[in-house]
Amino acid sequence: MNEFQKELVFNLKKFCETSIEPHMEHDDASGTFRKEIFQGLGEYGVTGITIPEEFGGAGLSYMDYCYALEEIAKTSVPYAVTVSVSSMVQSILLEFGNKSQKEKYLPELTSGKEIGAFALSESHSGSDAANMKTTAKKVDGGYILNGTKMWITSGGVAKTYIVMARTGGDGAKGVSSFIVTDGMKGFSFGKAEKKMGWKTSPTREIVFENCFVPEENRLLDEGQGFKVAMGGLDRGRVAIAAIGVGCAQRALDEAIKYSLTRQQFKQSIFDFQGLQFMLADMATETEASRFLVHSAAHSLDSNQPNSKLCSMAKLKATDTSMKVTTDAVQVLGGVGYTSEYPVERFMRDAKVLQIVEGTNQIQRVVIARHLKKEYEHHA
Amino acid sequence: MWFFTPEEKEIQKVCRDFAQNELAPFAEKHDHDETFNLKAFKHMGDLGLLGITADPEYGGSGMGAIAATIVMEEFGKACAGSTLSYLAHTILCVNNLNNNGSHEQKLKYLPKLISGEHVGCMGMSEPGFGSDAVGMQTKAVKNGDFYEITGNKMWITNAQYADVVYLYTRTGPGKKDLTTFIVEKGTPGFSVSKEIHKMGMRSSPTGELSFDKAKVPMANRVGSEGDSVHHMMKNLEIERITIAGISLGIAQACLDQCVKYAGERKQFGKNLANFQLIQKMIAEMYSETEAMRRMLYTVCYEYDHGDKSNSLASAVKLQLPKMATKIALDAIQLHGGYGYSREFPVERMMRDNKLNEIGAGTNEVMIMIIAKNLLKDALRE
């Protein structure tokens, strides 16, 4: 970590401890999202960290971004996720938006005043995203959108949505992407998902019923929507991986702290070799994941994005997060299973990290595809 | 299993029907609301299941570990939380009382517990003494015809609903100076001090019991002073076996859900069943579940035929919950986003099963016990 990163992490840690941590147990139980927390994070510049300063961003690197996400995730996986999804929306706008789209939508997102959301999945097209059914029919001056998008992180609390919809025939080539904002006529929010974890981060269906979207809100040309959707993938995966590292690190920290204070059989449970082996494995896996995440972030920062590495980071860090949080509950025993201690929450929050931004099965498919390509290239 | 008797097969059928009709449809709601399905519990009494291992003389069914485990598996498939409460009542309270109580105590307490009129629980763990249970500090002090009991018991399944507590206390300074009592609800000085909110098993109430000079009559002492450790030893194997039965039910239910979902869910133009990654997950879940089933019921069979092995019961308790957590995590993964939502039961099953790696002796305690049994000669050197 360089001096700047140390300071960023130090400040974020203070903010998380004083402004987020005291709410987490309550907000997890009640499913409460606090926009003021997100806006508070904005004041530290982490809601638009990699976006150039001309659009209000902090103009920092993906490595910096990973440190920030890890730190937030140590206190709250859901708020780290809200930041990461909003950031992915910004990186899409930056890469594919035209000048006026960038000027219009980026500043309020980078500052953290508003939240961005990404709408690709539908009830029957999750991993198989190109099979979506939502349509955008060309009319004079714009498009009419009809359909329902599912699993939308920050649905209802976000203002700016990147929405993929079908303007042409079947498959990926018939998909276009649009910027839709809260309040547009015919755009509404469907049911809120009841989930196992990520309870403070709202997940909702978003519904389009003859929703008119002006032509100027289309990103790139018709038929290039899938390119837009996939454009954010590498970055999204690295972000989720960094969150996975933070989630694992917190669980490990809690497990160490508890095992040093808890006495059974007249000694601290840390002194049992069985526990030491668990903790040593947890720490090693977490550190290995962190290195992989940083390698992937480095590839993004050096403008040579390595998709294989990004998928590997996502796969390894989130599988590790699941294993380490599960073991942490085990180390804490009965109290680990209760909401009085945070580890069960982190375990519930970890599970969906293995599912979002491409399930870990999809990551394996992606990695295998790269392996084959590399082999053929060298042969 | 091929060795189930006709009676055991009948129990299996009755429990399967009951679980599908009276537990499964309400499992999600009770999980969400953290409420107890008391109606179903009462109905278990009508079916004669609440005293499955107790003597018929007191209203029990007089059956063994196989029958009790069948109930756990079948109920566990539908609602693990209700099953845990059933276990705390039937195995921890009723079975203990049946094995260790006097004729008078059994006549007084068992019929109402077995009919479902009363709910039972057991009090062993304390805030500072979980794995190290025999270190307990709750004290019982003799005072005339009474004992005065003071202390706190933690993680008590059924606490808020219990009419009868089968309670372990300390009556002397020695490690084994532990004495058992039957404490009734309403005893002056006895209260439920705290409700405990949990990650899973949310339809099974958990609470903390407080005793502040609670006056318990001499007649409610089970056996003599210092008998508790002996009582605990007698019940350990069946506790471990039956809680593993809940994990078997959870694993089987997860597998069933996955097979169904893989046939329904279409991605990339074909259903999930066509993908080799999915096939691998399902084939492994099946192999693991069958290994679990055969290990568990074989140990039950041996137990019922007089061959009780502490190491094997501990091995069952170590293996089954651990494997079921893995299976349940995979089941969520196979269902993707839907698996993480409460629309499908697999996320609940995973949360529920995690408890089985902790309750009734953590995995680590099982490892300690097995190692101690296997290595006792080597450790003596």
| H-assigned helices in A158-272 | 225-231, 233-261
Question: Six-digit token pair at A289?
Answer: 């994941």
Question: Six-digit token pair at A44?
Answer: 């530290």
**Do A3 and A39 touch, CB atoms closer than 8 A?**
no
Q: Write out chain B residues lying below 8 Å of A363, CB-based.
A: none
Q: What is the pLDDT of residues A3-13, one digit of tens each?
A: 999 999 999 99
User: Tokens 């073991």 correspond to what residue?
Assistant: A327
Residue A32: which H helix or E strand, with range?
none
Query: Are residues A152 and A87 located together in one domain of the fold?
Result: no
Q: Which of residues 243-302 of B touch A (CB under 8 A)?
A: 266-269, 275, 277-278
Q: What is the pLDDT of residues B254-275, one digit of tens each?
A: 999 999 999 999 999 999 999 9
Q: What is the mean pLDDT of residues A192-198?
A: 94
The closest CB to that of A274, out of B128, B342, B367, belongs to: B367
Q: Which of residues 180-199 of B touch A (CB under 8 A)?
A: 196-199
CA pair distance B349, B244, nearest whole angstrom? 14
Q: Which of residues 127-166 of B touch A (CB under 8 A)?
A: 128-132, 135, 154-155
- Taking Cα atoms as reference points, which of A88, A83, A162, A87 lies closest to residue A120? A162
The closest CB to that of B199, out of A266, A348, A365, belongs to: A348
**Do A184 and A125 touch, CB atoms closer than 8 A?**
no
What is residue A330's predicted lDDT score, i.e. its pLDDT? 97
Q: Write out chain A residues lying below 8 Å of B282, CB-based.
A: none
Active site residue B239: yes
CB contact under 8 A, B342 and A195: yes
Query: Are residues A194 and A253 located together in one domain of the fold?
Result: no
Whether B5 has a pLDDT exceeding 80, the answer reads yes
Q: What is the pLDDT of residues A115-126, one digit of tens each?
A: 999 999 999 988
Domain boundary (A114, A130, A153) is at A114
What is residue A297's predicted lDDT score, i.e. its pLDDT? 97
Q: Write out chain B residues lying below 8 Å of A121, CB-based.
A: 337
Chain A / chain B CB contacts < 8 angstroms: 122
A183: left (phi over 0), alpha (psi -120 to 50) or beta: left
A132: contact with B, CB 8 A cutoff: no
Q: Write out chain B residues lying below 8 Å of A269, CB-based.
A: 131
A29: contact with B, CB 8 A cutoff: yes
Select from B132, B199, B278, B348 the residue whose CB has the most chain A CBs within 10 Å, as the one to mutate to test that interface: B199
What is residue B290's predicted lDDT score, i.e. its pLDDT? 97
What is residue A129's predicted lDDT score, i.e. its pLDDT? 86
CA pair distance B5, B10, nearest whole angstrom? 9
Whether B381 has a pLDDT exceeding 80, the answer reads no
**Do A354 and A322 touch, CB atoms closer than 8 A?**
yes
Domains of chain B (ranges plus CATH)? 6-119 (1.10.540.10), 122-226 (2.40.110.10), 229-380 (1.20.140.10)
A286: contact with B, CB 8 A cutoff: no
Specify the CATH number for the domain of residue A325.
1.20.140.10
DSSP assignment, residue B94?
Answer: I
Q: Could you tell me the CA-to-CA distances from B279 to B2, B209, B337 in Å, in that order?
A: 28, 48, 19
Query: Are residues A246 and A351 located together in one domain of the fold?
Result: yes
Query: Are residues A239 and A222 located together in one domain of the fold?
Result: no
Question: Six-digit token pair at B121?
Answer: 């629980």
Cβ-in-10-Å burial (0-12, 13-18, 19+) of B210 comes to middle
Query: Are residues A96 and A153 located together in one domain of the fold?
Result: no
Query: Are residues A90 and A195 located together in one domain of the fold?
Result: no
Give the residue on B whose Cα is nearest the Cα of A25: B197
CA pair distance B265, A132, nearest whole angstrom? 14
Three-class DSSP category at B179 = strand
- Taking Cα atoms as reference points, which of B103, B137, B109, B138 lies closest to residue B121? B109
A128: contact with B, CB 8 A cutoff: yes
A297: contact with B, CB 8 A cutoff: no
Whether A232 has a pLDDT exceeding 90, the answer reads no
The closest CB to that of B358, out of A29, A264, A334, belongs to: A334
Query: Are residues A17 and A68 located together in one domain of the fold?
Result: yes
What is residue B215's predicted lDDT score, i.e. its pLDDT? 97
CA pair distance B161, A201, nearest whole angstrom? 35
Give the residue on B whose Cα is nearest the Cα of A276: B364
Select from B341, B346, B362 the residue whose CB has the most chain A CBs within 10 Å, as the one to mutate to test that interface: B341
Whether A23 has a pLDDT exceeding 90, the answer reads yes
Give the residue on B whose Cα is nearest the Cα of A352: B340
Q: What is the mean pLDDT of residues B5-18?
A: 98
This complex has an ipTM of 0.71
Question: A333 CA to chain B: closest CA distance, Å?
Answer: 6
CA pair distance B217, B183, nearest whole angstrom? 9
Cβ-in-10-Å burial (0-12, 13-18, 19+) of A18 comes to exposed
Parent domain of A240: 232-378
CB contact under 8 A, B130 and A344: no
Give the residue on A whose Cα is nearest the Cα of B359: A334
AA letter at B324: A
B222: contact with A, CB 8 A cutoff: no
Q: Write out chain A residues lying below 8 Å of B128, CB-based.
A: 263
- Taking Cα atoms as reference points, which of B36, B365, B367 lies closest to residue B198? B36
Residues 6+ apart with CB under 8 A from B242: B65, B68, B69, B72, B87, B91
A190: contact with B, CB 8 A cutoff: no
Domain boundary (A81, A114, A147) is at A114
User: Tokens 């579940």 correspond to what residue?
Assistant: B289
A322: contact with B, CB 8 A cutoff: yes
State the total domains in chain A.
3
- Catalytic residue, chosen from A285, A357, A374, A376, is A357
Specify the CATH number for the domain of residue A16.
1.10.540.10
CA pair distance A300, A87, nearest whole angstrom? 15
Whether B378 has a pLDDT exceeding 90, the answer reads no
Specify the CATH number for the domain of residue A180.
2.40.110.10
Question: B133 CA to chain A: closest CA distance, Å?
Answer: 9
AA letter at B43: H
Q: How many CB atoms lie within 10 A of CB A266?
A: 7
Q: Write out chain B residues lying below 8 Å of A364, CB-based.
A: 277
Select from A124, A132, A196, A353 the residue whose CB has the most chain B CBs within 10 Å, as the one to mutate to test that interface: A196
B336: contact with A, CB 8 A cutoff: yes
The closest CB to that of A355, out of B277, B337, B348, belongs to: B337
What is residue B131's predicted lDDT score, i.e. its pLDDT? 86
A119: contact with B, CB 8 A cutoff: no
What is residue B250's predicted lDDT score, i.e. its pLDDT? 98
Select from A26, A151, A195, A264 the residue whose CB has the most chain B CBs within 10 Å, as the one to mutate to test that interface: A264
A338: contact with B, CB 8 A cutoff: yes
Query: Are residues A247 and A133 located together in one domain of the fold?
Result: no
What is residue B281's predicted lDDT score, i.e. its pLDDT? 95
What is residue A11's predicted lDDT score, i.e. its pLDDT? 96
CA pair distance B208, B210, nearest whole angstrom? 7
A151: contact with B, CB 8 A cutoff: yes
Q: How many CB atoms lie within 10 A of CB B12?
A: 18
CA pair distance A373, A308, nearest whole angstrom? 11
Q: What is the pLDDT of residues A51-67, one digit of tens each?
A: 999 999 999 999 999 99
Query: Are residues A78 and A131 located together in one domain of the fold?
Result: no
What is residue A378's predicted lDDT score, i.e. its pLDDT? 86
Q: Which of residues 40-79 of B touch A (CB under 8 A)?
A: none
Domain boundary (A78, A97, A114) is at A114
Q: Write out chain A residues lying below 8 Å of B348, CB-based.
A: 196
Whether B133 has a pLDDT exceeding 90, the answer reads no
Q: What is the pLDDT of residues A123-146, one digit of tens each?
A: 998 888 889 999 999 999 999 999
CB contact under 8 A, B341 and A193: yes
A364: contact with B, CB 8 A cutoff: yes
Query: Are residues A91 and A151 located together in one domain of the fold?
Result: no
Q: Write out chain B residues lying below 8 Å of A131, CB-based.
A: 267-269
CA A368 remoteness from chain centre: 23
DSSP string of B365-376, one letter each residue: HHHHHHHHHHTH
Query: Are residues A207 and A322 located together in one domain of the fold?
Result: no
CA pair distance A67, A50, nearest whole angstrom? 12
* Summary mean pLDDT of chain B: 96
**Do A81 and A321 touch, CB atoms closer than 8 A?**
no
Q: Write out chain B residues lying below 8 Å of A356, CB-based.
A: 337
- Catalytic residue, chosen from B73, B74, B239, B347, is B239
What is residue A231's predicted lDDT score, i.e. its pLDDT? 86
Query: Are residues A267 and A374 located together in one domain of the fold?
Result: yes
The closest CB to that of A355, out of B130, B277, B333, belongs to: B333
Q: What is the pLDDT of residues A263-277, one digit of tens each?
A: 999 899 999 989 999
What is residue B47's predicted lDDT score, i.e. its pLDDT? 96
CB contact under 8 A, A339 and B198: yes
- Taking Cα atoms as reference points, which of B148, B154, B81 lies closest to residue B122? B154
Q: What is the mean pLDDT of residues B144-164?
A: 97
CA pair distance A77, A64, nearest whole angstrom? 18
DSSP assignment, residue A170?
Answer: S
The closest CB to that of B342, out of A194, A334, A352, belongs to: A194
